[in-house]
Amino acid sequence: MNIQQLYEFCLSKKGVTEHFPFDEDTLVFKVGGKMFALTSLSNWEKEIPAINLKCDPEKALELRAKYKAVNPGYHMSKVHWNKIDFNSDVSDKMICELINHSYDLIFKSLTKKLQSEIENLEN
């Protein structure tokens, strides 16, 4: 997966917006105003791409034990966020599944009203 594919995959999800709230390097994807994925553009340029994703705490521990590319989230809550390195032992398909998991966790945390508004958006 390259940065363009990642970008398109994240933005294809309902209600997703992109932001640079921290600096000009950290691309953040949000749903309902809450982060579900972030990545460093300069690390993609340096060919050491990674993504931070929200994760269920138990699942996060399982993934960290199973994959060397999954580690506690960089500059994030180590309980709820994982950093996944691309081009390692986690397939692109699995990364997409983990992006979906992160999106779903955030979406489910939104108010019912906001969930309904997002669900009714046209893609």
Provide the percentage of residues in the chain whose pLDDT is more than 70: 99
What's the average model confidence in pLDDT over 9-22?
Answer: 97
Residue 121 has a pLDDT of 86
Assess if residue 91 is contained within a domain: yes
Does the pLDDT value for residue 90 go beyond 70?
Answer: yes
Does the pLDDT value for residue 105 go beyond 80?
Answer: yes
Assess if residue 47 is contained within a domain: yes
Assess if residue 59 is contained within a domain: yes
Residue 29 has a pLDDT of 98
The pTM is what? 0.95
Assess if residue 12 is contained within a domain: yes
Assess if residue 77 is contained within a domain: yes
Assess if residue 37 is contained within a domain: yes
Measured in residues, the chain has a length of 123
Q: Which two tokens stand for residue 104?
A: 């779903």
What's the average model confidence in pLDDT over 3-31?
Answer: 97
What's the average model confidence in pLDDT over 9-38?
Answer: 97
Residue 74 has a pLDDT of 78
Does the pLDDT value for residue 104 go beyond 80?
Answer: yes
Does the pLDDT value for residue 123 go beyond 70?
Answer: no
Assess if residue 13 is contained within a domain: yes
Assess if residue 29 is contained within a domain: yes
Nearest alpha-carbon partner for 71 in 97, 50, 56: 50
Nearest alpha-carbon partner for 10 in 32, 33, 25, 28: 28
Q: Which CATH number covers residue 58?
A: 3.90.1150.30
Domain, as residue range, for 106: 3-113
Does the pLDDT value for residue 76 go beyond 80?
Answer: yes
What's the average model confidence in pLDDT over 99-105?
Answer: 98
Residue 122 has a pLDDT of 73
CA atoms within 13 A on the CB side of 35: 19
Number of domains in the chain: 1
